[in-house]
Structure 1
Amino acid sequence: MKRIIILTLLCFTAYQCSAQQQTSNMITSQEREKAMQLLTQTESGVFDAVKGLSEAQLNFKPAADKWSVADCIKHIAAAEKELWAMAEPTLAQPANSEKRAEIKFTDDDLIKAVEDRTHKSKTFAALEPANSPYKTVAEALTAFKSNREKLIAFIKNTKTDLRNHVLVLPVGTYDSYQFILLIAAHSNRHTQQINEVKGDVGFPK
């Protein structure tokens, strides 16, 4: 009987250690809240930017080589889905903390860099508005909202070790938590672009 009790205690201790290790590898409550807040705020920003716009306003281009508001929305929606699809396979693999040495940005610096419209960058061909799977702004907004809400639910509930699942991509190296911040900042980057289009002197009244 004594031996059974000892074995039971050992198993319970091992379970506690395992649970504590899992908990210690989770993102902090502050990190979780920060990501949820950024995702929520930037989602609202997209919808606020296009609220009440007419078809003429949605499709106005400041120049032939510039994007319209509709183009920006189609890009945001496509990127919301495709960027997260780049991260999901990494989460299915074992944590690769040794790759953290290759990360160049802090969380805040990454957000600032993505949102900085003074630095231009060309998007992937698959994310060009012309290649978007969404044919209308309404369709794109519906898809964006659906995928954004899934991402918010994920960050709210996940117990995954996001910091030690590192993505090594042609555009840089980020941990999975940072990549969620990047997705949120990306939508804000193009919300700024929408507001630039709306501020053009030729924008329909």
Structure 2
Amino acid sequence: MRTTLLTLLLSLTVLTGLRAQDLSADDRAAGLAYLEKTRAGVYAAAAGLSEAQLTFKAAPDKWSVAQVLEHIASAEDMLLGMVTEQALKAPPRSDGEDVKAIDALILTAIPDRSQKRSAPEPLIPSNRYGSSAEALKHFGESRTKTLALMADVPDLRGHAMDSPLGKKLDPYQWLLFISAHTERHTKQMLEVKADPGFPKQ
């Protein structure tokens, strides 16, 4: 009986340790909601724009709505590939890191347009999709894959890899990063549309 009880207690201890790495249902739901919200934001910002409006640039060194759309779509691909090929295969996170604080950092730092950053060379717009309609279509297809990853993959807290934030991010946090990046550049599209020179039609 003692041996059986000891075995049971040891099993519970191991399971508890594993569950500590699990993603909570609330976090998963919040991550899905953020992905859906930011997808809707992109669609709303781009809806009904003419070619003149899509290609308007407030200054020669500024991006147009069309260029921002292309950047959002290509960044989604790059970051999603990073999650599947690197983050999900990375070593476990070090003990003692406050994952909730890192979650909060992503949600505040990445969408903050007061902090200017330069896009990496592979993500600079180059008309790779041929049109804004194709860029938007590609974004939608990629976002569907991102949503499926958030919804279905169980081990989103079990690994962590380096990030531009100076913190190691687990796969769940990289998916938050994708949404936050989308939010950041949706704000950029709205800034273009708010420019006094933006075409009326």
Interval containing the TM-score (normalised by the shorter chain): 0.7 to 0.9
Q: Deviation per CA, 1:103-152, whole angstroms, max 9, x where unpaired?
A: 8952122111111101100010000012x532211111111111111111
Structure 1 residues 46-79: Cα deviation after superposition (integer angstroms, max 9, x where no partner): 0000110000000000000000000000000000
Question: Matched residues in 1 for 2:49 and 2:67: separation?
Answer: 14
- The equivalent position to 2:193 in structure 1, one of 165, 182, 198, is 198
Do structure 1's residue 51 and structure 2's residue 47 form an aligned pair?
Answer: yes
Gaps spanning 5+ residues in structure 2: where? none
Equivalences for 1:1-205 in 2 at 5 Å? Answer: 22-93=18-89, 95-98=91-94, 101=97, 106-130=102-126, 133-160=128-155, 162-170=156-164, 172-173=166-167, 174-205=169-200
Percent of aligned pairs sharing the same letter: 36
Query: Match of 1:65, as an amino acid?
Result: D
> CA separation of 1:143/1:100 partners in 2, compared to 1, >3 Å: closer, same or farther?
farther
Residues 12/144 of structure 1: CA separation in 2 closer, same or farther (3 Å cut): farther
- Which range is displaced more, 33-42 or 23-32? 23-32
Structure having the larger proportion of residues in helix:
1
- Alpha-carbon distance, 1:91 to partner: 4.2
**How does the TM-score come out when normalised to structure 2?**
0.85
**How far 1:16 moved relative to its partner?**
8.2
The TM-score, its normalising length taken from structure 1, stands at: 0.83
Distance 1:106-1:180 versus aligned 2 partners, 3 A rule: same
Cα separation, 1, equivalents of 2:9 and 2:90: 24
Q: Distance in 1 between matches of 2:87 and 2:96?
A: 15
Larger Rg belongs to: 1
How far apart in 2 are the matches of 1:165 and 1:106? 14
Cα distance change, pair 100–76 in 1 and its aligned pair in 2 (3 A): farther
Distance in 1 separating the partners of 2:191 and 2:81:
29
Query: In structure 2, do the counterparts of structure 1 residues 15 and 145 end up closer, same or farther at CA, with 3 Å as the change threshold?
Result: farther
The amino acid across from 2:140 in the alignment is: K
- Runs of 4+ in structure 1 off by over 6 angstroms are 11-20
Distance 1:67 1:91 in 2: 30
Aligned to 2:115, what secondary structure does the other structure show?
coil
CA positional deviation for 1:163 = 2.0
The aligned amino acid for 1:169 is S
Superposition CA RMSD, Å:
2.9
- 1:3 matched residue in structure 2: none
